[in-house]
A = this chain, B = another copy of it.
Amino acid sequence: MNGNEMKVGLLGLGCVGCGVIRALSRNQEEIERRAGRRLNIVAACARDLNKERDCDLDGIQLTQDPQQVVDHPEVDVVIELMGGIDPARELILRAIDQGRPVITANKHLIALHGSEIFAHAEQKGVNIAFEAAVAGSIPIIKNIRESLSGNRIEWIAGIINGTGNYILTAMEEEGRPFAEILAEAQRLGYAEADPTFDVDGTDAAHKLTILASIAFGIPLSYDHVHVEGISDITSENIADARSLGYRIKHLGIAKRAGEGIELRVHPTLIPRSRLVANVAGVMNAVVVKSDAAGAHLYYGAGAGGDPTASAVIADLVDVVRTLTTDAENRVPHLAYQPHALSDIPILPIGQVTTACYLRLQAIDRPGVLAAVTDILGGLGISIEAIRQREPDIQGADGSVPVILLTHEVPEDRMDQALSRIEELDDIVAPVQRIRIELLK
């Protein structure tokens, strides 16, 4: 450290990078009163230095070469906000080699290469902080790693992608279809030009990977997350859910179950009375259920320049505080001591047990419902509710939608049931299945 000043190198001058520069400048006095020292960005890099930016770069040494920032002789700590795997990975490893702590918002990198990065950091006694990688401004990493350290965590369920939640909320509020809302979200800047990762669940799976690891003390297991997106959700599904007292949310769920851990991202029916069901628009929220604390919910902005900068600066202050701590007394990167990770298996989706919402398109003829309930009953799947939609929404082929809610059933058994139901002559379309979680 340089006396009473902490000098920071910043990789990336996008919306979060500018948010960090703005907040450090605007709140300089507040931060110094808390941290007991000044935090100054001395060097920063960006691909395009001539771009118009919404932050004041005066006094910051600018370069297009990120290595110059990492290697800058005055830099005490590096903030990585470039995103993506390369060159972020190499740059972080290089900073570690030089004994410099790194703060990153890079969920993609941490979910896929965190183990390598943390192992290297631990070997060098260097701290890597990544609060901003999950749920933007919400301090969910700190809450799970530190505030629940006396608990056995049972499950986590989170709305951890703001774009997806914006789309589902707008579909419900405006009754318009997915594609229309997505296009509008892109026009308004709520969705990226390429929204693939937001819509197909990849982004949420990155974040869930990190949350599950720190909650259960398991290695980062991105490849084992079952991932489904929201693009197949229809206005009819949302209306069905509503009429049954539920709302559809795109959740990341990590849960202890039997002999393993469930890791899954998918649209989910949850009771409207749950607080998390009322999280609307681009906001994020994570529910954590643990044995002593019970259910916690943490709510806030999950993205955006200023909110994400809030998490980055909190990490910066934390890292400064621990610079003089013995590395072994710091909070472990993945919450558990590196030698104490568990090898509890991640369950394949077939072994996951949930209640289900089913939407069948059936020819309105006597006997079809009996055939369906026979198949379900034969497989030991009990039915919670059946609703047949009014004939006025009968299809051209004389079919009507039938909505079924089942009790809890293992996924592989439900798969069997669905393939048998779809073989029935009077079932004219693939069955839609959406899992239900009561979040109790």
Task: Please list the residues of chain A having a beta carbon within 8 angstroms of any beta carbon in chain B.
Answer: 19, 23-24, 26-27, 30-36, 131, 137-139, 142-143, 145-152, 217, 275, 278-279, 290-301, 306-307, 309-314, 316-318, 320-326, 328-332, 335-337, 340, 342
Contacts and interface: CB of A to CB of B under 8 A. Distances in A.
A300 B307 contact: no
A140 to B, nearest CB: 10
A143 B139 contact: yes
Nearest to A27: B152
A294 B142 CA distance: 18
Contact of A293 (B24, B137, B152, B325): B137
B34 A335 contact: yes
A314 B148 contact: yes
Contacts of A330: 321
A36 B275 CA distance: 35
Contacts of A318: 146
A23 B296 contact: no
A149 B294 contact: no
**Copies of this chain per assembly:** 2
A300 B295 CA distance: 6
B294 A151 contact: no
A397 B149 CA distance: 62
A31 B149 contact: yes
Contacts of A291: 23, 26-27, 306
A26 B290 CA distance: 13
A150 B335 CA distance: 23
A142 B137 contact: no
Contacts of A19: 292
A9 to B, nearest CB: 17
B323 A309 contact: no
A151 B310 contact: yes
A167 to B, nearest CB: 20
Given A24-B150, A143-B143, A292-B306, 4 more contacts: A139-B146, A275-B278, A275-B299, A293-B310
A398 to B, nearest CB: 42
A365 to B, nearest CB: 44
A15 to B, nearest CB: 13
A292 B310 contact: yes
A290 B310 contact: yes
Contacts of A30: 151-152, 217
A300 B310 contact: no
Nearest to A342: B33
A309 B314 CA distance: 26
B299 A148 contact: no
Nearest to A24: B150
Nearest to A277: B278
A340 B314 CA distance: 19
B296 A150 contact: no
A27 B291 CA distance: 9
24 contacts: A23-B150, A26-B291, A33-B217, A33-B336, A33-B342, A34-B336, A34-B337, A35-B149, A36-B328, A36-B329, A137-B296, A146-B314, A149-B313, A149-B314, A150-B316, A275-B275, A275-B299, A292-B307, A293-B300, A297-B300, A298-B298, A322-B325, A324-B329, A325-B329
